[in-house]
Structure 1
Amino acid sequence: MEIQTTIHNNNHKKIIKVSIISFSVILVLYFGISMFFSNHFYFGSVINGINASGKTVGEVDKELLMKSKTYTLELKERNGVKEKINGTDIALKYNAKDKIQVLKDNQNSFAWIFAIFNTKASEMDGIVTYDDKLLKEHFDKLSCFDSKKIIEPQNASFKYSDKGYAIVKEVMGNKVNEKSLYAGVVNAINKGDATLNLYTKNYYINPKYTSTSQKVKNTKILLNKYTSSKVTYTFTGGKQVIDGSIVNNWLGVNKNLEITFDKEKIQSYVRKLDDKYNTFGKERNFATSLGTTVKVSGGDYGWLVDRSGEIKDLIAAIKNGQTITKQPNYTQTAASHDVNDIGNTYVEINMTNQHLWFYKNGSLVVQGDVVTGNVSINDATPKGVYKLKYKEKDAMLRGEGYSVPVAEFMPFNGGIGIHPATWRNKFGGSIYLKNGSHGCINSPASLAKTIYDNIDANTAIVCY
């Protein structure tokens, strides 16, 4: 029992002795390494791109000096393009003075053990100098600023086919943000960086919208909605259909992906509608009461498309993706959409024969001789097809040097109209050549009254 106790005590003493020796060795080693780091940088230290691991201030100074003499900044650009700015081109010089020593003095030599697990690169500004003017000159000469080589960035766009719109992939281009890149180059030189990747550093001006942008997808949906519309115009003898094959030519997309309508193209289209619908002022073949056919042009009678109103309605139908059949909006209508838009109710005035006929619903109501405008003083009644503006009882006709009351007045061309001329006892013949009216149609009282009692506003008045 006494022997075992003695052995146990001896073992315990040996463990203590070994521990003291081990601790002493570790302590000596720790302080020895600490002494090493009193004039050397920690392992893993990097200063402005220079490996300073275990090196003295002098050694780091020397490497930085060598680097400044051979320094080159490589710019990595899109499409594999590389450019360089050499330190010699910008008069780059090493000018650290005591900054490396200060950095070393700030290193706690006894904390080296913690640095093993927390190594970091040090970046120091102002340890090199360069000529700002030379840098700017070389910077401005970089090929990425050559206008002939610059590809502008383009947003994703849209292409129409008979299957609808498809998204066209964006163009990334290679246009650089000059101000940001210059700041990046200066920063890289000051840090001693060997490369500067323009793409990863985001120095390019990129498209605002790409093919994966939700707004691009939404615009495509809206474009396809617009081109799904179908507007059918009907007219005598046929029809005209506006569908996606036409509408797509009117649509555009601005830089904010807003859909625009080309008003000029739509106006051009509506003008073509005029050829099919408008008869306002156009030349007509008119079958006279004497059995002949004459051409009559001018006047204000006929169909007239309301262009601005039609464009507005057309755009609204397209935006709603509607399928509709319609006629254009009109600012003025006529009796019929037939070739003879005058219809079968009209007043016919043959100025050569000085005779008037009034038809209603195809039947002759009344006819008689009249006196038209005085040809000798250039007051001849204008030719053309007009619409009756209104009719008025007991009107007062006023002009230069005259004021005459009439029982009925039916104006169709400004102040020119049909009215009784009770001061005349003869009508027809050649009276109008030298003793005609101021442009009005002078009629016998009974003729004027019969017309007045049976005519309505907007009835066609044909003068030829």
Structure 2
Amino acid sequence: MPFKSEPTAYKPAHFAPGNDTPKPRRKHNVPLIIAIVIVALAAVAYVAGAIVFSNIYYPGTVIAGTDVSLCTASDAAERLRTASPAYTFEVTGEDFAWSYAPETIDDLIDVEAVAQGELAKNEVFIWPARLISALLSPKSEQDAIDTAATPDFSRFSSSFDEAAFEEELGAAVDAYNESRSGTFTPTGAYDAEAGAFTPEHARACKKLDRDEVIAFAKAHLAALSSTASLDELGEEAYLPLEGGVSDEQIESACDAMNELAGADLSLKMGGAEVARVDGALIAQWIVLDENYAPSIDEEAVAAWVEKLADSLDTVGTERTYTRPDGKEITVSGGTFGWKVDREALAKLVSSALADKQTGEADVPCSQTGDVFTAPGERDWGA
């Protein structure tokens, strides 16, 4: 039989002779193409965002208490002019409050210039980060307070009456200072609620520093804050106490005065309280020397004893009462009534101070009536 060769199997051209493994097809680099497209789109989005936020504010932007989110500068200026409620500004502190409200926002600031100035702060080249930050934490009053550290007084309009602002705020500070002594005194250091002399109460006698407060308020006003809290200034808001007394001297004096004022004695007469020797009264008797060391002014104590005795003595005084028939009668003279033993009362008070006595004690009298009543009333029995 003739020899028949086996048919040769078809092999694609890309198969190498003697190698039955097929060669891979050349594929396009899809991931690279996708990356290029993404980068191109991101670049377009970045440029578009930069253009957008060079013309509008970020979300949460507030100017003079008015929300101008996503507004253009011209729209923001219009919003500022028509804002309701209108812009108001308040200076606050411990027991101090003063407010200011311009008739129109144009009477305070150059509205267009401020609107453009705020827009210029957008930092458009980092707009993605600024946008995310604005969305997560909208602009707050703190932004204005931070700006007040380096105030831009050019924001004020030509119609802003700076002198009137300073005069009105200064007058409020002056009125506030009238209630404060500006000195370190025992009565000023005594805290009735605490029942003790405290450095905090002593420092509360300080007067506000007029110039410092005005400068601080103007800085916050230029930043268009709604409030300026004097707490931010701390002690810089106040003038030092007269005499240059130091904090250490105040604390030492308060400790010493608390030692002197340990008495709390109710003085009674005929069962009724007629006086109380306590810290509030003793504070009026304490004097400080040049080193702020306290002591009891014995002359002041003696004068108080005399005044109290005068108010309690009824011998020879006029007394008015109503007879059973309804007629009102006034009598005077005679030897009947109450008479305080002044020397004994002075000794009682001095001992109470020295011994820090508490509780009750009867006012020593050299003579008593039947009942003790208010001055001018009947002090004998029915």
TM-score range, shorter chain: 0.3 to 0.5
| TM-score of the aligned structures, taking structure 2 as reference length | 0.45
Give the structure with the higher percent helix. Answer: 2
Give the structure with the higher percent strand. Answer: 1
Larger Rg: 1
Higher relative contact order (CA 8 A, sep 6+): 2
| TM-score of the aligned structures, taking structure 1 as reference length | 0.38
